[in-house]
Amino acid sequence: MCGICGIVSYRTTPALDLLRRMTGRLVHRGPDGNGYYRDRRAALGHTRLAVVDTVGGAQPLCNEDGTVWVTFNGEVFNHVELGVELRRLGHRFRTASDTEVIVHAWEEWGEECFSRFNGQWALAIWDRREERLVLSRDRLGVRPLYYARTAQGLVFASEVKALFADPAVPRELDPVGLDQTFTYWSTVAPRTVFRGVEQLEPGHLAVLDRDGLRRRAYWRPSFPARGQEPHRDTRENAEALRERLVEAVRLRFLRSDVPVGAYLSGGIDSAVTTAVISRHTDVPLHTFSLRFADAEFDEGRYQRSMAERLGTRHEDVVVSASDIAEVFPEVIRHTETPVLRAAPAPMFLLSRLVRDSGYKVVVTGEGADEVLAGYDLFREARVRLFWSRDPGSATRARAAELLYPWMARSPGRMPAFARTFFGRNLDPDDPALSHRPRWDSTSMIKRMLSADLAARLHRSQPDGVVAAMPPASGGWDPLSRAQWLELTTLLPGYLLSSQGDRMLMANSVEGRFPFLDPDVVDFAAALPAQDKLFGLEEKYLLKRAFADLVPASIRHRPKQPYRAPDAASFFTGERADWLGEVTSPRALAAAGVFDPAPVAGLLAKCERTRGRGTGNSDNMRLLAVISTQLVHRLFVAGDAAAFDRVLPEPGVAVDLVAEGTADRTVDLAARDAAGSPLDPAARDVADLHPTR
């Protein structure tokens, strides 16, 4: 895992000092090395977390004649198989890295190469001959990729803070981006919360040349029409799922030149991944868990039982409310966007434990809930659909009592409230029937917006996630439509980003997600809905497929979503200084997002209760205020230079402009063949950089 950045300009030569400043802001993503490439039109930067080919994989990296350069963040797990195929087709390799496979795959297959990758990536390819930049992002958005169009051209980077090194990129909040966040929990790509900053959509590539920037999808989530699913035998499906998942786990555990650990949450997803690693590899396994001081959130009992069963070397970190408050500003520095839950903060502390234990790669169970229908939201949708067939039926209304059994104030204990909450907008023809309650309750945040922002949003067009659903989705099973919405909104926008990549990379740790393997995702999408959500039994096929590896105590425990104390984290103990500063009337007025009066009321309420017993809506509203204010302070009002970090000496330093060779091609492979005592990266430097 790494950090990437770059500049392309058809008017001026990209400034190397700007590129180096951008690169410096990504050093936490890649503390093991850095490098750059520059010619008259493009500059590419890279910070490296060395995981595959730790000696030879320095970047940016080029093809044989130096005409195609790549800067790459991520992994192509099937690089070995692709490398064999490409060698057979005549390509010459200088390293054993997956990065070089990308270069040759691009030469061989062009834009079609991305469909062949099994991996998680954000990358940029610069073709010097064509003066063309290609950006690409993995299918589901595991790795981030942002860009901004400027008067000079385009800047891109793994994180927004690197783009803000360029003074031409405005530092302003985007009202529509905020509107999306306060509805869907995150922005929907290509939008971000910053005006003028875009993100490449998952499963897309973008091409920039003298004709401009064009984006297109190379993959989209898709489902068969209900009743047309190709595989309808549940027993066979369980076997096929197991086969695919075992291979996905093996690829992610074994394709690394450094040790790989695993997260163990206490739920079935990570229990499956760790059990598969133990069963199918001979390597000792180190597992890591997150625990909470507050028993309401703690899953330590299940974590320990699984670790003991598998005999792993197990470590955990116990997180208290004050721990969350203490690291929260740092967390927002990494999320770069408002969050409506405190849940990313403990993930930040968990990745710190991993790093302190000497690991920099972990396998996790992320993605199983979306791909195999684990969320309560899917159960909720099925209950609402059941109810919508006769909205006046008192019997059907009682189905809501089957939801959220883990909640202290569950629908079973508060049936009247449940009927009111889940019984709204029961329109079976609504393609977003599944998501209306969540979106409606999240939108309560917007009642606190400042008059100015509310007026601007009122004038803006509603943003159409539902309108963007594929025309064929009308024939999908309702579960498939709900999965599509999750795969398009919450997964890339929040779970893989604010709670995933950002919390891992903050401590220079790479996450690998077997449930997001394309073979697993495509297979699961084609399953009949009942294999995934069997009645109201979530992740049914997964439980069935791994019944022998995961104990019944974990398979049959009611789904407990990952949560952390929200309001309680900020109001239980001593108040953090920063909290008062960012929520002061002056700070609120400066940001212009929230009306200070209702915020003051909310804060007073939390103060009074010390955050205990705070309801879902108030928790969300509080976190929206705190995190948005922090985003404003850090990224809009604050000194952007605070993100600058001094870079060590680059391992790759190729500056064709300084050398005056920007118009020539260089046959690196021919010189490699002549024999050089230096490693390939060093040869690049020695050959092309006059100062080394």
Partner 1 sequence: MVPDRVTSRRVTRLLRDHAAARRPGTDPVLESIATAVLVEEVFDITLTDDEIDPVLLDDPAAVTALVRRHGGTP
> What residue ranges bind partner 1 (CB under 8 A)?
227, 234, 382-383, 386, 389-390, 393-396, 398-399, 401-402, 412, 529-530, 534-537, 540, 556, 558
- Selection from 683, 416, 376 nearest residue 559 by Cα: 376
Are 259 and 364 a contacting pair, CB within 8 Å? Answer: no
Helices (H) and strands (E) in the chain, counts: 32, 18
**HSE-up of 380 (CA within 13 Å, CB side)?**
22
Minimum distance from CB of 526 to partner 1 (Å)? 18
Helices 268-280 and 300-310: angle between axes, nearest 10 degrees: 10
The whole-angstrom separation of Cα 234 and Cα 544 is 9
Q: CB count, 10 Å around CB of 391?
A: 13
Q: How far is CA 647 from CA 89, 187, 333, 651, in A?
A: 39, 32, 19, 11
- Selection from 197, 238, 115, 200 nearest residue 518 by Cα: 115
Residue with structure tokens 């202290």? 408
Minimum distance from CB of 421 to partner 1 (Å)? 18
Which ranges constitute the DSSP H helices of 185-262? Answer: 234-254
- Angle in degrees, CA 621, 626, 631, rounded to 5: 120
- Angle in degrees, CA 123, 44, 193, rounded to 5: 60
Active site residues: 2
The whole-angstrom separation of Cα 6 and Cα 73 is 13
The whole-angstrom separation of Cα 670 and Cα 598 is 69
Most distant pair of Cα atoms in the chain: their distance = 83
The whole-angstrom separation of Cα 99 and Cα 652 is 14
Strands 652-655 and 33-38: parallel
CB closer to partner 1 out of 534 and 578:
534
CB closer to partner 1 out of 104 and 382:
382
CB closer to partner 1 out of 336 and 401:
401
CB closer to partner 1 out of 394 and 416:
394
Residue 650: which residues within 8 A CB-CB, separation 6 or more? 33, 34, 35, 36
Give the chain's radius of gyration (CA, Å).
25
The whole-angstrom separation of Cα 573 and Cα 35 is 45
CB closer to partner 1 out of 558 and 675:
558
Minimum distance from CB of 110 to partner 1 (Å)? 44
CB closer to partner 1 out of 402 and 516:
402
Minimum distance from CB of 302 to partner 1 (Å)? 16
In sequence order, the β-bridge partners of residue 69 are: 62, 126
CB closer to partner 1 out of 412 and 596:
412
The whole-angstrom separation of Cα 112 and Cα 82 is 13
Minimum distance from CB of 399 to partner 1 (Å)? 5
CB closer to partner 1 out of 170 and 405:
405
Q: What is the DSSP letter of 143?
A: S
CB closer to partner 1 out of 401 and 510:
401
Are 124 and 71 a contacting pair, CB within 8 Å? Answer: yes
The whole-angstrom separation of Cα 70 and Cα 36 is 10
Q: Which two tokens stand for residue 478?
A: 């309702």
Minimum distance from CB of 390 to partner 1 (Å)? 7
Minimum distance from CB of 543 to partner 1 (Å)? 8
Are 35 and 185 a contacting pair, CB within 8 Å? Answer: no
Residue 206: which residues within 8 A CB-CB, separation 6 or more? 134, 135, 136, 147, 200, 213, 214, 215
Minimum distance from CB of 438 to partner 1 (Å)? 20
Q: What is the DSSP letter of 581?
A: H
User: With 0-12 CB in 10 A as exposed, 13-18 as middle and 19+ as buried, what is 467?
Assistant: exposed
Minimum distance from CB of 530 to partner 1 (Å)? 5
Minimum distance from CB of 229 to partner 1 (Å)? 13
Are 101 and 87 a contacting pair, CB within 8 Å? Answer: no
CB closer to partner 1 out of 334 and 544:
544
CB closer to partner 1 out of 228 and 616:
228
Edge-to-edge strands, sheet with 2-9: 197-199, 146-149, 153-157, 2-9, 42-48, 33-38, 652-655
Minimum distance from CB of 299 to partner 1 (Å)? 18
Minimum distance from CB of 539 to partner 1 (Å)? 11
Residue with structure tokens 């001593």? 574
CB closer to partner 1 out of 324 and 383:
383
